[in-house]
Amino acid sequence: MGLDGKRVVVVGGTSGIGFGVARAALAAGASEVVVASRSRERVAAAVARLEAPGRARGIATDATVEGDVAALFAAVGEVDHVVMTCAELRWQPIAELAVDDAMATLRSKLLAGLLLAKHGAPRLRAGGSLTLTTGVATDRPNAGGALVSLCNGGLEGLARQLAVELAPIRVNALSPGIVDTELWDGIAGDEKAARLAGIGGRMLARRVGSPDDLARAALFLMESGFVTGETLHVDGGYRLV
């Protein structure tokens, strides 16, 4: 199908996987890519980094606020593909669970997914798609990851449900493993390269993922008109080790 002449909205598109998806969509011929995120400054910076005047646009949007999501799609108009990569993840042992942290994580993934479907689906053109980003924590639990596992598993179930309810709009889930993004700068600091090399060495692919790996997978889900209700695992075999 390709993306020539298509309009793509990437919610969470200012960094990491989302920015990679936005850049790949432009390279694949999308006529317009809209990146959305809560921070106006980050949105403006991402649009500048995309270096596609007239084809890249940014809209400040909090995907957990229904009014913001409704306004986003009102501003964009008809769209061909929506990709959600936003998340506010809180890792903590269940014995130390803080309700405020739990609600922030649930809103950032589950509520955001619901709102994007509610307000985005009516704007999707024939052949359009919605892609929800989940994660390997669903299939490879780690201590302290209850909230993340819950949200990722919930989004995978939501993708299947919405694929039925919104047909012929296609709805899929993209499940990354460990990916080298800006998130790891805060987690590991100066030890980032060494830590990711150590993790990658234990994977079947013998490396961690890159935003480009996930962007190519997202393009597949957007372009493949016969794929819906699926979860595409792009984790270098991390689930299996």
Q: Judging by beta carbons within 10 Å of its beta carbon (0-12, 13-18, 19+), is residue 190 exposed, middle or buried?
A: exposed
For the chain, the residue count is 241
**1: confidence class by pLDDT, cuts 50, 70, 90:** low
For residue 26, give Cα distances in angstroms to 81, 112, 233.
13, 24, 23
Distance, in Å, from the CA atom of 174 to the CA atom of 113, rounded to the nearest integer, reads 13
Give the global pTM.
Answer: 0.95
| CATH topology for the 7-240 domain | Rossmann fold (3.40.50)
Residue 130 has pLDDT above 90, yes or no: yes
Q: Encode pLDDT of 20-64 as tens digits.
A: 999 999 999 999 999 999 999 999 999 999 999 999 999 999 999
Per domain, the residue ranges of the chain are 7-240
Q: What percentage of the chain reaches a pLDDT higher than 70?
A: 100
Greater confidence, 92 or 67?
Answer: 67
